[in-house]
């Protein structure tokens, strides 16, 4: 069992708080992603779970045991970092076997366990090579195999795909998803990449300034962001966020009016809507503004239009859509696709 429970965990350095009163219940077998921009405290959180960093206050429980004062080696977690941390003078086989030697696993079990781990990440043909003779993707797979071979209670992965090129990142990401499906080991995964979070996670914790902004399944967070920070961090392109005023269920600003919003709020708000929810119409619609940029993506066309106050708004149109820069585009933003946030606090208004 590797249920992990963080109770009011904080990490402070002098008067700076890197992680602020974080409470999380991570069920056994869950794939939890800590997502946020650089400096939001996600690595610190993971390092506290690993035992590499002290907790300033709060408690970390794993499998019903208090971990706060246990050494990293006694926590039964395996870590995978973005720098692979391989031993250059050892072969792939020896690198994968190393944790078994350290932990005193009987030598008679080594070969079978190394071969199984190597097979899971398709490294069998490379077992005699040294890390220098491997590609970046292969090295990261050695690091994964070395984590797997111990059969730990929990995997902790800190930006494991960051050093890979775009194509390898996609294939290694799929491999990590597949490994989790096969092993069902509780995994905590740190990234600043919302695509990794959306594609890998059972649940995502979106962090900012050491504080969890929202915890939920990827689609819950995508469909109902708790605040403007989460709304702008999840999804590509980012959600359009436009300032205006709301009264009697109608949002308005100089270039956009949306009626029929089921909100009783009055006053200054931020309206959110996603590029894919806007349809370009030949005339009319509730949004008109000049085209600022056009990007043909192959399967679709992205337009950015520029409203008053230099607001840039993304619209996703059919791949055949044609529009010239400077031309006025008419579009329809449906009320049902809109999110309303308090302008001052950024919090979602339901
Ligand atoms: P990144 O993606 O850049 O690694 P992160 O979200 O993982 O960012 P952390 O590494 O957890 O962020 O750092 C959180 C904050 O704590 C940062 O502002 C960082 O400067 C600060 N911090 C981390 N380690 C220390 C330390 N040893 N002493 C003081 N401040 C630290």
CATH number at residue 116: 3.40.50.300
Residue nearest to atom 18 of ligand 1 (CA): 39
Please say which residue of 206, 229, 252 terminates a domain: 229
**In a shared domain, residues 248 and 213:** no
Distance from residue 48's CA to the centre of ligand 1 (Å): 12
Looking at the structure, do residues 243 and 145 belong to the same domain, yes or no? no
184 plus 263 within the same structural domain: no
**Residue-wise pLDDT tens digits, 6-22:** 999 999 999 999 999 99
CA atoms within 13 A of residue 169's CA, in its CB half-sphere: 14
pLDDT of 243 strictly over 90: yes
- Structural domain containing residue 296: 237-342
Q: Which residues does a 6 A CB cutoff place in the pocket of ligand 1?
A: 13, 16, 18, 36, 38-44, 192
* 273, burial (CB in 10 Å: exposed 0-12, middle 13-18, buried 19+): buried
Residues 190 and 241 in one domain: no
**What is the position in ligand 1's atom list of the atom closest to the CA of 46?**
11
Domain check: are 80 and 13 in the same one?
yes
Percentage of the chain beyond pLDDT 70 is: 100
Nearest CA to ligand 1 atom 11: 41
Does the complex come out with an ipTM higher than 0.90? yes
Q: Is 93 exposed, middle or buried (0-12, 13-18, 19+ CB in 10 A)?
A: buried
Q: How far is the CA of 243 from the centre of ligand 1 (A)?
A: 32
- 185 contacts 29 by C-beta, under 8 angstroms: yes
Q: How far, in Å, is the centroid of ligand 1 from the Cα of 157? A: 16
Residue 224: phi and psi, rounded to 5, are: -140, 65
172 shares a domain with 319: no
CATH number where 283 lies: 2.40.50.140
In a domain? residue 349: no
- Contact in structure between 38 and 192 (CB atoms under 8 Å): yes
HSE-CB of 5 using CA atoms within 13 angstroms: 9
For residue 211, the CA-to-ligand 1 centroid distance in Å is 13
Q: Are 328 and 280 in contact (CB under 8 A)?
A: no
Of 167, 168, 113, which Cα lies nearest the Cα of 145? 113
SS3 81: strand
pLDDT tens digits along 266-284: 999 999 999 999 998 888 8
Q: What is the mean pLDDT of residues 104-118?
A: 94
CA distance linking residue 77 with residue 72, whole number of Å: 8
- The 10 Å CB-count burial string (b at 16+, else e) for 319-337 is eebebeeeeebebebebee
- Side-chain half-sphere exposure of 289, counting CA atoms within 13 A: 25
Task: Identify which of 341, 101, 135 has the alpha carbon closest to the alpha carbon of residue 243.
Answer: 341
Which pLDDT belongs to residue 310?
82
In a domain, 348, yes or no: no
254 plus 158 within the same structural domain: no
The ligand 1 atom nearest the CA atom of 34: 6
Q: How far is the CA of 43 from the centre of ligand 1 (A)?
A: 7
């600003």: which residue's tokens?
253
Task: Pick the residue whose CA is nearest to atom 29 on ligand 1.
Answer: 13
How many residues can be counted in the chain?
A: 350
Contact between 214 and 207 (Cβ < 8 Å): no
Residue nearest to atom 20 of ligand 1 (CA): 39
Which of 14, 19, 43 for mutating ligand 1's site (highest number of atoms within 8 Å of CB)?
43
Please indicate, yes or no, whether residues 153 and 261 belong to a single structural domain of this protein.
no
Indicate if 207 and 241 belong to the same structural domain: no
User: How close is the Cα of 210 to the center of ligand 1, in Å?
Assistant: 9
Is the CB of residue 80 less than 8 Å from the CB of residue 180? no
CA of 221 to the centre of ligand 1 (A): 25
Kindly state whether residue 350 falls inside one of the protein's structural domains. Answer: no
Specify whether 205 is located in the same domain as 241.
no
Pocket test for ligand 1, best of 18, 37, 82, 189 (most atoms within 8 A of CB): 18
Spell out the alpha helix ranges (H) of the chain. Answer: 42-50, 92-102, 107-120, 136-148, 166-183, 194-200, 218-223, 228-233
Whole-number pLDDT of residue 301: 92
Instruction: Please indicate, yes or no, whether residues 222 and 103 belong to a single structural domain of this protein.
Output: yes
**Bridge partners for 287 per DSSP:** 256, 331
Task: Classify residue 286: in a domain, yes or no.
Answer: yes
Cα–ligand 1 centroid distance for 18 (angstroms):
6
Residue 260 pLDDT > 80, yes or no? yes
Picking from 183, 198, 229, the residue at the C-terminal end of a domain is 229
Do residues 213 and 251 share a domain? no
pLDDT at 1 over 70: no
Last residue of a domain, one of 229, 263, 282: 229
DSSP assignment of 268-307 equals EEEEEE-GGG-EEESS--SEEEEEEEEEE-SSEEEEEEE-
Q: What is the pLDDT of residue 228?
A: 97
Classify residue 21 as left (phi > 0), alpha (psi -120 to 50) or beta: left
Residue 131: inside a domain: yes
Total count of domains within the chain: 2
């Amino acid at each position: 069992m590797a249920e992990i429970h963080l109770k009011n965990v904080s990490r402070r350095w002098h008067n700076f708080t890197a992680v602020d009163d974080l409470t999380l219940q991570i069920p056994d077998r869950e794939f939890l992603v800590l997502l946020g921009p650089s400096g939001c405290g996600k690595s610190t959180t993971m390092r506290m779970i690993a035992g590499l960093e002290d907790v300033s206050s709060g408690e970390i429980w794993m499998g019903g045991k208090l971990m706060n004062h246990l050494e990293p080696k006694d926590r039964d977690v395996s870590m995978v970092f973005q720098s692979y941390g391989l031993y250059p003078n050892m072969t792939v086989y020896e690198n994968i076997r190393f944790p078994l030697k350290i932990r005193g696993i009987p030598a008679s079990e080594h070969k079978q366990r190394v071969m199984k781990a190597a097979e899971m990440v398709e490294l069998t043909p490379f077992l005699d090579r040294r890390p220098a003779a491997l590609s970046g993707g292969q090295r990261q797979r050695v690091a994964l195999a070395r984590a797997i071979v111990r059969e730990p209670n929990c995997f902790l992965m800190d930006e494991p795909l960051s050093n890979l090129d775009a194509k390898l990142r996609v294939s290694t990401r799929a491999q990590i998803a597949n490994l989790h499906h096969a092993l069902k080991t509780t995994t905590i995964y740190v990234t600043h990449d919302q695509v990794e979070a959306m594609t890998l996670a059972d649940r995502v914790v979106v962090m900012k300034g050491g504080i969890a902004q929202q915890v939920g399944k990827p689609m819950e967070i995508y469909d109902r962001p708790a605040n403007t920070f989460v709304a702008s961090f999840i999804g590509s392109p980012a959600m359009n966020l436009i300032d205006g005023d709301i009264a009697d269920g109608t949002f308005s600003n100089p270039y956009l009016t949306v009626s029929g919003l089921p909100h009783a709020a009055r006053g200054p708000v931020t309206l959110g809507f996603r590029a894919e929810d806007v349809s370009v119409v030949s005339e009319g619609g509730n949004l008109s503004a000049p085209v600022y940029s056009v990007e043909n993506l192959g399967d679709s066309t992205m337009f950015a239009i520029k409203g008053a106050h230099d607001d840039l708004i993304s619209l996703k149109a059919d791949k055949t859509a044609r529009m010239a820069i400077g031309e006025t585009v008419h579009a329809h933003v449906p009320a049902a696709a809109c999110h309303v946030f308090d302008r001052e606090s950024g919090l979602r208004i339901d």
